[in-house]
Homo-oligomer: A and B are copies of this chain.
């Protein structure tokens, strides 16, 4: 019998690499989870303003889902690993109504996988080999550290072609990106952006497509917050910020890039408040080989027939769905207004945006006003103090912000639970 030490080293190198890789977002989540509020298990626990969840439509979606629950005898049999044709068609219809694609989507353009993270992961497997890399516009959603790298052998390289968090693309910065030697195959873009919710202008998107084309990179647009926008403000035509534009809606995209290189990730976790149902979509209109590849690998994230039927029942009521999207936008905007007014009263700086369900605050000036400099160590200490005092928030560090002093706050909670008071110690 061999000893435990030698055995433990017997995992594959890719598994060992995956386990050893630093993933700040995951590390912080693991630290926070035992402290979080739970109605029975931890009634005095911390309010969750760290995860991107939207409670504003909870009652409505629960009422609707209760009418959609169904299981038929045929659901005992194998369904489609990548979603039934009906489901894929309904997703295509949803996106045709709300994402304004130049050419309408067809069920064949949709592959269903268990979450947007799985969508990114499957795309990376199909587009990059071990030793290759993916470039991501940073700061970025911290779970990409896993979605791009676990078991893939692919490196994730953050690039920062903006002068500020909320600024647009600087072409000089972008063009000075070191590509040679990176074996880069993919450019990964989240739009609307995460953590701060800003959207890229069409001009910036064309810059990014041109850059990708020049270096023969595939481009993945993660548009998972695409319908959580309140810009223009619901009921008005007033745009305060850059509005969200889906890459699917850019006319004559072939002027900037071969459309076979452009792929979209979408899902229902955020815009439909369904984190638990694991509904991610790979959207591709021009690359049949890629669709074949992700169809094949989708069997390892195989869609349950139960889930498939529930979501079909939900999506086929298009009147209700469109009401939901619009109402969610109105409620997000109200919550944003309430939150930003409150932050302003307190003199807390934030990055304005037209997208929910979170906002990024900047606290560096609070320190400068007292002649101090903020550091990542101080950011960390503030995070821990907030957690122990009842509020879980997300540090800029987990999104790979270059500078310390940023925090992402989820504000899509019932206001009485939304413990900004507790967070800022003013109650």
Contact = CB atoms under 8 A, between A and B. Distances in A.
Interface residues of A, number: 79
A12 B296 CA distance: 14
A116 to B, nearest CB: 10
Interface string A1-33: 110100110111111001100000000000000
A129 B19 contact: no
A69 interface: yes
A316 B305 CA distance: 21
Interface in A293-322: 293, 296-297, 299-307, 310
A165 interface: no
B276 A76 contact: yes
A304 B304 contact: yes
A146 interface: yes
A66 interface: yes
A393 to B, nearest CB: 17
Contacts of A15: 125-127, 290, 293, 297
Interface string A270-298: 00011111100000000111101100110
A12 B128 contact: yes
Contacts of A7: 258, 260-261, 287
Contacts of A19: 289, 292-293, 296
B218 A10 contact: yes
Given A150-B297, A304-B114, A276 B128 contact: no
Contacts of A12: 125-129, 132, 185
